[in-house]
Amino acid sequence: MRYTKLGRSNLTVSKICLGTMHFGPYASEEESFRIMDRALELGINFFDTANVYGGPRDRGRSEIIIGWFAQSPGRREQVVLASKVYNSMVGADVPNEERGISAYKVRRHLADSLRRLRTDHIDLYQVHHFDRTVAAEEFWGTFERSVANGDVLYIGSSNFPGWGLAKFQLQAWQRGFMGLVSEQTQYNLLNRIPELEVLPAARDFGIGIMAYMPLAGGLLTGKVQSADGSRTRALEAEYGITLGPENVQLHDFSALCRELGEQEHIVATAWTLNNPAVASAIVGIRTVAQLDGIERAAELDLSADVLARLDEIFNINRGRPLRPGAAPEAYSW
């Protein structure tokens, strides 16, 4: 396993981050324990969750499972534990539980997360989505107190635009606070939009990218067909593609992977990690078997020729007037 520092912080994290969104609704408690044990064996020291993970009827379940797991001696000390806050835990129609950030809400949600996780601190506390309405004084005042109290060590963001990263980071620095050390964004071979603004902004402001869905929800794993009503079918619609023999793009991708002697999910994840702005790729795991060989993705260095061929495969016939690179060069003359 390879490791890196997370953004401007001196915190060391594995290049592969264990995503735990499936813990509870799709992975049983016992399977989740096996997944986390195996992750530690592979050298994965970075676990990501959120207070809402566990399914719409059992929010918090993922944190509870991680909390039970971490009780064995030494386990908590081996893990850089990340969680998130933003969404409602009881229903959006409840006052002060709507989507967003407030001192009132964060105080309660943080205390509940610590209780579920059975820990005295969260290493990386992330704002799950971008809040356009919260004042800088309330936003940073809230998280500064959380850090000062020892409940949280570092602050991160998720799903922020590039201008949002710049805005909140500058506000933090004006207050003499370290600010954001990480940003979670969806980034993969089928979604390169973050290259326009988010990745350049993150790199310039010392914010480490945690790339989620590096496999585009499984579309980049070599699948050739989807079933009606399946998650894969929904993702086909989301990404505007169709699996099957007529999909030349994914056919060419699989052919390149065979030429390299590597599996599709390894190459796709390694490509995500190749971007210098990306600190870690989050892999959402449902079974222990899905972790097999994942460390290879952190170790695989793709040559310039391979990267160029992947650019050609995934930027031609996409129907989008975008080229790899930052804004405005990607779309302007």
Strand positions, DSSP E, the chain? 3-5, 12-14, 16-19, 46-48, 80-85, 122-127, 152-158, 180-186, 208-212, 278-284
Would you call 3 a catalytic residue per the annotation? no
SS3 sequence of 84-108: EECCCCCCCCCCCCCCCCCHHHHHH
Close Cβ partners of 131 (under 8 Å, ≥ 6 residues apart):
86, 99, 100, 101, 139
Close Cβ partners of 331 (under 8 Å, ≥ 6 residues apart):
196, 321, 322, 323
Catalytic residue, chosen from 3, 26, 53, 125, is 53
C-beta of residue 139 within 8 angstroms of C-beta of residue 100: no
C-beta of residue 191 within 8 angstroms of C-beta of residue 239: yes
Q: What is the DSSP string of 152-187?
A: EEEEEEES--HHHHHHHHHHHHHTT---EEEEEEE-
Phi, psi dihedral angles at 107 (to 5 degrees)? -60, -45
Compute the Cα dihedral for 5, 10, 12, 13 and give only its sign: negative
Q: Is 180 exposed, middle or buried (0-12, 13-18, 19+ CB in 10 A)?
A: buried
- The residues that are catalytic are 53
